Amino acid sequence: MSSRKKTLLKVIILGDSGVGKTSLMQQFVNNKFSHQYKATIGADFLTKEMLIEDKNVTIQLWDTAGQERFQSLGVAFYRGADCCVLVYDVTNSKSFENLSSWKDEFLIQANVKNPDNFPFVILGNKIDLEENKRAITTKKALSLCESLGNIPYFETSAKENVNIEVAFDIVARNALQQELENDAEFNEDYSDAINIHINGEQSGCAC
Amino acid sequence: MGTHKNTLQSQEKSPNLSNGGSLSDAVTNPLSLTKSNDNSNDNLNINLNNSSPYNSLRKKKISTYPPGKAKLLWTKSKVYIHLTKNKSDNISGFLSLIKVYPTSINNEILLTWFPESTLSNSNDRAIFESCDLYINLNQYKSNYNSNNHDNHNFPNSFNTNKKKVFFINSSILQSMGAYSFQTPLSNIFSIQARVPSLGWWWGSIIINSRSQFDTFPILFFHDDESISTQKEQKFKNKDFNPFSSNNEGQLFWGGDQFFTILKKYILVERSSLDSSFFLINPNSDDLNYTKLVTTDYKSINKNDPNNQGANNNNINESIEKIRHTLQNISVNKIVTSAKWTILESLARVSMLAKSKVDELVEENPKVKALLNKPEVVKINNDFDTARVYLAKWALAISEQAEKNKIDLILDKNYQNLLNKELGGNFSNLSIQEISKIHRRKEISPVEWSSFFDSNGNLILTVNEVKERIFHGGLNETIRSQAWLFLLDVVPWDSSTFERNQIIKSLRSDYQHYLNLWKIDIEEKQKDEYWVDQKFRIEKDINRTDRDLSLYKNPKKSSTQKDKQNQSHNKDENNDNDNDNDNDHNDNDDEEHNISNIKNEHLKNLREILITYNEYNQNLGYVQGMTDLLSPLYYIFQDNALSFWCFAKFMERMERNFVRDQSGMKNQMLVLTELVQFMLPELYLHLEKCDSNQLFFFFRMLLVWFKREFEFNDTLRLWEIFWTDYYTSEFHLFFALSILSKHEVIIKRHLRQFDEVLRYINDLALTMDINDLLIRSELLFLRFRRMIEIIDRENDMKERAKMYKVPNESEVETEVETETELENDINNASTSNNINPRINRINANRISKTKTFKPSEQKKPNESTSDKKNKNYKISESLRALLSKEIVVQKEVEREPGMGGG
């Protein structure tokens, strides 16, 4: 049954304001980059169809505002997440230091069942900027990722489309794994959902 | 459906009919048994019947046309192409069927569209216009007569037996303007129709050519401007028979006229795969394919609804079957060719904005479905309910709203009372009501100066000026004066001299706050919080309204205006000052380099915000403030004045930015109450979608719709909000108007939290500000009247209790206020006077008040008698919406060491 079901993977992208969350999402989904993205207010999402292990999945990426106080809104979108992407800006050490609090915040707010097993991916963005602006070395980043529980780490450039596909492929794989685990728990609910749907379906359209 | 059955039977008997091939497949398919109930095949019999006039037409005696003339068979005015999203780029034109030669040898009928402006000759235009009216209404008349025995509703002019024939100069066909097109009917592969009811104000058609190289623009039927459509609509309304089964839910639109006439001249077959698709002269392959798939699909949906548990296997089997079918026919002509035609047309209609195209694919579920090999994907998709959960605080809001709900949604007695007094259904704004009101012209500089005497004292009342601004807005050139009043930077009752004095002292005050950080900037750099705030500000001004030329990096030397400003703006970053002359070659990256802001105006924005951070230390800078400052700065381009306007504006906006977000939560809570009160049905639907906490309004409320409209529209909107003419919370009514406008679509098409969010987010930059302003005004007036009526009603009940008068007459009292709403606003009119039919229905409804059983919103444990004696209590938060007093909520004190996040 689950092999036939269309899978929706919900992914939350978090990180300090201005690290490039919107840009990463736009590059991955729409293959474009612009300097003109405005600061995200509220929340928005993009979806993309992907093929993961011969399975068609829809990945739904949620983008929220980076300033902390607006996270009380973001919370609404954390629930039911299958994976969380934490982003920092390699030229901004503060955004790096905040990674672990973003992670903790997410786990608390999303009310995840198995916090130890919940998949995260960390992205160090803006590697296109000059080397001398870089504040966080790859080594430092890797050691943090290890200490946070062997979180997969990628260095990306949303601007020049570096490592984006690769990173989101891992995001989707991990999310799918998580979704399948959740799926098993919710299996009972599905048969109901199907029947309700079939009965409510309307055919044709007046035109 | 009697005739329909006959048609089917006759087909089954004669499978050799050109389009009957599918039926043999259908018959052998056990799943197709349900087919005879399927309405979407109605067209089939129409087509079969209509093929006879088509043939007889050919047989008609061929007369000759006057020299140089072509015959105009049919035309329709006010058919538009939309070049961009911008309304002013729409082009109005005529869609016509033209027969050029009378001979049967060259019998081609041309379908053409050309702009109105092509018809420079007024005679030509008159011919098209009278043809539009005559043919379309005659068409309706003849249909009508065939269905009804009497035709007393028709004006005499249409009862004439003599058919008018319209000839036009053939030369028109050669001299059609830009964007026009013409194509023989036989060249058309399919036409896709989108009726207005699908959520589009205008219905549209997309014509797909058989040739891969012809693409045609999407044609929009502006029915609201077309006289012939309106007339026909009027007739239809007159003939409206509420018990007729034919009329259900079918919205009449201009496209109906087009298809009716088209069927006279060529075979039009509705695709049963996608009922918005009409195949033109399809060959049997096309039909064969579409029927086969449809049969399978439909029959699945009709699986016995009572047999809930047992049919999973059936469904799975059926899905397999469909999957199999689709796999085997993936090379089938319709898929490849329809898909390609659509894709090609979309991709190559270069005159349409890309966004328009995306919109079309994205938002028309049908097109999308077809492109994705629809049925399998769709069914699978629907099984997966993508659950989106509520947040903690959203939950709190929902719970609270739930608690209030019993009281907030009006019971039937009150609803009936309101329906009676306000006319029609109180929660719907009728089209007539809206179209009666127009926004006024913006205030010109001349008009503005006429408001003041020679000393600059106001000679009108403040309310009069505000009323004028509320209804028309301000010309851009006077905003820099008027906004100072609106934002309470200078008092209305002051002379020019006094105002100059005030401004002078404001400038020095600004300098004071500026100096707080600027004089000892090195000391400030040591304060982590301050550096943090500065960094936030810089990041955000770098991405605020950078598409405005004002905020782009200077390519040449500074403009005059910049130079003016420099007197107040000795920049703190002296190191950057020298760069100004050297940056002719700055590239895009440089333009967005935070550490090196070059545009003077961006520097000024930074200065103002850092100063505000000093001025309001508890609040500081919070994301979104750049959006509020940028329009003010754009108008004033003066740091001190922009700062004080911003500071005043922030007095009412501060609640949006406080750390615990309580100001936003409160507003959203009030808005949910307002939706329950004003749009109860929509509220119940949003509840089903987990969207009743109205998250999707967050962005709109936070920065007052700045992200939803073009920059200039935002300026207009804000100056209207600032007047507080009706209420200081008019922005909530404006938000309500957006919901009200999209109520039908939301209720009909949106089911889930993410769908609602997507839909509302995507409204950004597509909404018409004037339309919404009219709606919000009407909604406010209605809101005020509702409160009055309910108060009065409660008052009556109280008195009745006191004097122990039997409360028999509680519904039937005081009708004299009926026209008050109408007088509230110039030319505003309730639907009461406009649509006598609706009025009659209402009258009926009211006379039956006591037995009237509401079909919806019935709450399980609610007994009518209980409710009847209970007064509906208007909540304090709703009543507060009548106040013009600005709501102020300040940020609590910032503890030392606390960050600015």
Work out the pLDDT band at A187, boundaries 50, 70, 90. low
Give domain status of residue B231, yes or no: yes
Neighbours of B89 (CB within 10 A): 12
Q: Report residue B528 as tokens.
A: 């982590």
Return the percentage of chain B with pLDDT > 70, whole number. Answer: 59
Is residue A60 very low, low, confident or very high in pLDDT (cuts 50, 70, 90)? very high
Interchain CB distance below 8 Å, A35 and B591: yes
> How much is the pLDDT for B105?
59
Q: What is the largest distance, in Å, between two alpha-carbon atoms of chain B?
A: 99
Write out the DSSP string of B633-658: HHHH--HHHHHHHHHHHHHHHHHHH-
**CB atoms B383 and A41 under 8 Å:** no
Number of domain units in chain A:
1
Say whether both B646 and B676 belong to one domain. Answer: no
Average pLDDT over residues B187-199: 73
Q: Is residue A137 included in any domain, yes or no?
A: yes
CA distance A11 to chain B (A): 12
Contact B641, B489 (CB under 8 A): yes
Is the residue at A189 inside a domain?
A: no
- Do A77 and B388 make contact, defined as CB atoms within 8 angstroms? yes
Least confident of A130-139, B585-594, B631-640: B585-594
Residue with tokens 């989904």: A29
Residue whose pair of structure tokens reads 């020679």 in the numeric block: B454
Q: How many domains does chain B have?
A: 4
Instruction: Among B361, B388, B404, identify where a domain stops.
Output: B404
Based on the fold, state whether residues B366 and B514 are members of the same structural domain: no
For B69-90, what is the mean pLDDT? 82
**Token duo for residue B594:** 């935070």
3-state helix, strand, coil in chain A (%, to 5): 45, 25, 35
Asked whether residue B858 carries a pLDDT value surpassing 80, the answer given is no
Provide the CATH number for the domain around residue B78: 2.30.29.230
Over pLDDT 90: what percentage of chain B? 30
Is A191 within 8 Å of B312 when comparing Cβ atoms?
Answer: yes
Q: Count of residues for chain A? A: 207
- The DSSP output letter for B661 is -
For residue B500, the SS3 value is helix
The Cα of A45 is separated from the nearest Cα of chain B by a number of Å equal to 8
Q: Under 8 Å CB-to-CB from B689, ≥6 apart: which residues?
A: B750, B751, B752, B753, B755, B756
In chain A, the residue whose alpha carbon lies closest to the alpha carbon of B382 is: A197
Contacts of A73 in chain B (CB under 8 A): 391, 661, 664, 695, 698
CA pair distance B222, B202, nearest whole angstrom: 6
A vs B, Cβ pairs < 8 A, gives: 163
pLDDT for B339 beyond 50: no
Q: Which of A118-132, B76-90, B465-479 has the lowest mean pLDDT?
A: B76-90
> What was the pLDDT predicted at B897?
67
Q: Distance (Å) from the C-alpha of residue A180 to the closest C-alpha of chain B?
A: 13
Maximum mean pLDDT: which of B564-578, B786-800, B828-842: B786-800
Considering the domain architecture, whether residues B354 and B416 belong to the same structural domain is answered as no
Which residues have C-beta within 8 Å of that of residue A181, sequence separation ≥ 6?
Answer: none
Given an 8 Å threshold on Cβ–Cβ distance, is B754 in contact with A69? no
| pLDDT the model gives residue B563 | 42
CA A206/CA B42 separation, integer angstroms: 11
Question: Are A194 and B383 in contact (CB < 8 Å)?
Answer: yes
What is the C-alpha radius of gyration for chain B, rounded to an integer number of angstroms? 32
3-state secondary structure of A9: strand
Residue B619 lies in a domain: yes
Give chain A positions within 8 Å (CB) of B392. Answer: 72, 75, 109
Based on the fold, state whether residues B670 and B637 are members of the same structural domain. Answer: no
The answer to whether the CB of B658 falls within 8 A of the CB of B891 is yes
Q: Does residue B167 share a domain with residue B81?
A: yes
Contact residues on chain B for A41, CB-CB shorter than 8 A: 623-624, 627, 698-699, 702-703, 707
Helix (H, G, I), strand (E, B) or coil at B520: coil
Domain assignment present for residue A28? The answer is yes
Determine, yes or no, domain membership for B682. Answer: yes
Which residue has better confidence, B417 or A45? A45
Partners of A122 in the β-ladder: A86, A153
CA distance B463 to B481: 17
Q: Determine which helix (DSSP H) or strand (DSSP E) holds B319, and give its type and residue range.
A: helix B312-328
Is A73 in contact with B698 (Cβ distance < 8 A)?
Answer: yes
Shortest alpha-carbon distance between residue B567 and chain A (Å): 30
A8 → closest Cβ in B386, B659, B664? B386
Chain centroid, CA B798 distance in Å: 43
Helix (H) / strand (E) element for B230: namely helix B227-238
Chain-chain contact of A35 with B250 (C-beta, under 8 angstroms): no
Among B29-33, B64-68, B798-802, name the one with the lowest average pLDDT.
Answer: B29-33
Q: What is the pLDDT of residues B436-456, one digit of tens each?
A: 677 899 999 999 999 999 999
Highest mean pLDDT pick, A100-109, B367-376, B714-723, B828-837: B714-723
The pTM (predicted TM-score) of the whole model is 0.59
Nearest chain B alpha carbon to A36: B543
Q: How far is the alpha carbon of B9 from chain A, nearest alpha carbon, in Å?
A: 22
Q: Is B441 helix (H, G, I), strand (E, B) or coil?
A: coil
pLDDT surpassing 90 at residue A96 = yes
Count each helix (H run) and each strand (E run) in chain A, helices first.
6, 6
Chain A environment of B316 (Cβ under 8 Å): 1, 4
Could you say which of B659, B676, B692 is where a domain stops? B659
CA nearest to B760 within chain A? A44
Domain match, B538 and B617 both = yes
Structure tokens at B448: 């503005």
Domain residues for B371? 337-404
Indicate the helix (H) or strand (E) that contains B445.
helix B445-450
How many Cβ atoms are within 10 Å of B825's Cβ, its own excluded?
A: 15
Query: What pLDDT is recorded for position B255?
Result: 84
Cβ neighbors of B753 (< 8 A, separation 6 or more) are: B388, B689, B690, B691, B695
- Phi first, then psi, for residue A114 (nearest 5°) are -115, 80
> pLDDT tens-digit profile of B403-422?
444 455 667 777 777 777 77
Give the domain CATH number at B425: 1.10.472.80
Based on the fold, state whether residues B605 and B482 are members of the same structural domain: yes
Q: Is A31 inside a domain boundary?
A: yes
B478 and B524 share one domain: yes
| B675 inside domain | yes
pLDDT of residue A196: 37
B613 half-sphere exposure, CB direction, 13 A CA radius: 25
**Residue after which a domain boundary falls, among B404, B421, B445:** B404
Give ∠ CA B372-B377-B379 in degrees, rounded to 5. 140
Q: What is the pLDDT of residue B467?
A: 94
In a domain? residue B557: no
- pLDDT mean over B39-43: 38
Task: Tell me which chain A residues have a C-beta less than 8 angstroms from the C-beta of B704.
Answer: none
Residue A42 lies in a domain: yes
Mind telling me how many Å the CA of B513 is from chain A's nearest CA? 26
> For position A87, what pLDDT does the model report?
97
Window from A113-127, B70-84, B364-378, B532-546 with minimum mean pLDDT: B364-378
CB-based contact B85:B188 (threshold 8 Å): no
Min Cα separation B501/chain A (Å):
38
Give the count of beta carbons closer than 10 Å to the beta carbon of residue B186.
12
- Contact B623/A66, CB-based, under 8 Å? yes
Query: Does the structure show a pLDDT above 70 at B742?
Result: yes
Question: Under DSSP, is residue A121 helix (H, G, I), strand (E, B) or coil?
Answer: strand
CB contact under 8 A, B702 and A42: yes
The answer to whether residue B55 sits within a structural domain is no
Q: What is the pLDDT of residue B835?
A: 40
Q: Cβ contact (<8 Å) for B661 and A72?
A: yes
Phi and psi angles of residue B880, each rounded to the nearest 5 degrees, phi first: -65, -20
pLDDT in tens, B585-604: 445 566 566 667 889 999 99
Of A35, A70, A203, the CB nearest to B623: A70
Closest partner residue to B301 (CB to CB) among A78, A198, A206 is A198
- Same structural domain, B736 and B760: yes
Q: Give the ipTM.
A: 0.88
Contacts with B629 from chain A: Cβ below 8 Å: none
* B754–A76 CB contact, under 8 Å: no
Of B383, B532, B588, the CB nearest to A5: B383
Per-residue pLDDT, B250: 55
Give the helix/strand (H/E) hosting B404.
helix B392-408
Average pLDDT in the B363-378 region?
A: 40
Check CB contact under 8 Å for B695 and A68.
Answer: no
| Residue B11 in domain | no
- Scanning every residue of chain A, which has its alpha carbon at the shortest distance from the alpha carbon of B306? A199
Which residue from B649, B643, B648, B702 is spatially nearest to B671, judged by alpha carbons?
B702
B305/A76 touch (CB, cutoff 8 Å), yes or no = no
Q: Which domain holds residue A136?
A: 7-179
CATH code for the domain in which residue B532 is found: 1.10.8
Backbone dihedral region of B827: left (phi > 0), alpha (psi from -120 to 50 degrees) or beta? left
Contacts A38 to B, Cβ<8 Å: 543-544, 627, 707
Of the residues B543, B665, B706, the best mutation for testing chain A's interface (the one with the most A CB atoms within 10 Å of its CB) is B543
Instruction: Tell how strand B219-221 and strand B277-280 pair up.
Output: unpaired
Whether residue A185 lies inside any domain: the answer is no
Q: Quick one: what percent of chain A has pLDDT higher than 90?
A: 61
Q: What is the CATH number of the domain that holds A44?
A: 3.40.50.300
Q: Whose CA is closest to B548, among B642, B478, B634?
A: B634
Q: How far is A138 from chain B, CA to nearest CA, in Å? A: 23
So what's the pLDDT on residue B200? 55
Please state, in angstroms and rounded to a whole number, the distance separating the CA atoms of residues B458 and B437.
28
Give the pair of three-digit tokens for residue B201: 């104000």
**Cβ A203–B588 below 8 Å, yes or no?**
no
Bridge partner list, B112: B96, B182
Q: Does B342 share its domain with B237?
A: no
Instruction: Tell me, yes or no, whether B478 and B601 share the same domain.
Output: yes
